[in-house]
Amino acid sequence: MEADELLTLVADGDQEAFEKLYGLVSGPVFGLVRRVVRDPAQSEEVAQEVLLELWRSAARFDPRRGSALSWVLTLAHRRAVDRVRSARAAGERERREARRAHHPAFDQVLEEVEAGLEREWVRRCLDRLTALQRQSVTLAYYDGYTYREVAERLSLPLGTVKTRMRDGLARLRDCLGGAA
């Protein structure tokens, strides 16, 4: 029985036909995969994957488009190429990660200088607020108080604190907008 006939039977779930087909195509499949993948262990894995796929997808075989052996070897070649590409991509990811690990993502001195400059800019902008606005903003943003807690600490109505905060934050935003 030829591979084409066996593959048709395999598509119908015939296990005996699959055993015979396996015997016919496993050698050529492994040989092709081995030439593409090169690593013996990986080649065995890929060949097994191809033969499993053959069992699962036998119904997709169309004898009008070519022989069963050609179809099976096409499956094998595609799977082998996918494995090689995947291995190359993984290797490239590892190399990029290794390069990143050897070069810090930032310059610590530069980061500290920039942070210092930003703090100075914020101080200058805070100095432009009225004393009442600065006091409210400082309590809320630097000391972590809620608007209600700020109002209690300053013995002011909540609405007054909210107005000071809104006006103070608007002035800060306008001042800091020039920093960006």
Question: What confidence tens digit (pLDDT) does each residue in 72-119 have?
Answer: 999 999 999 999 999 999 999 998 888 877 765 566 777 787 888 888
Interatomic CA distance for residues 168 and 130, integer angstroms: 8
Using CA atoms, how far apart are residues 140 and 150, in angstroms rounded to an integer?
Answer: 7
The pTM for the full model equals 0.54
CA distance linking residue 107 with residue 113, whole number of Å: 10
Residue 43 near residue 37, CB atoms below 8 Å: yes
Q: Tens of pLDDT along 37-65?
A: 999 999 999 999 999 999 999 999 999 99
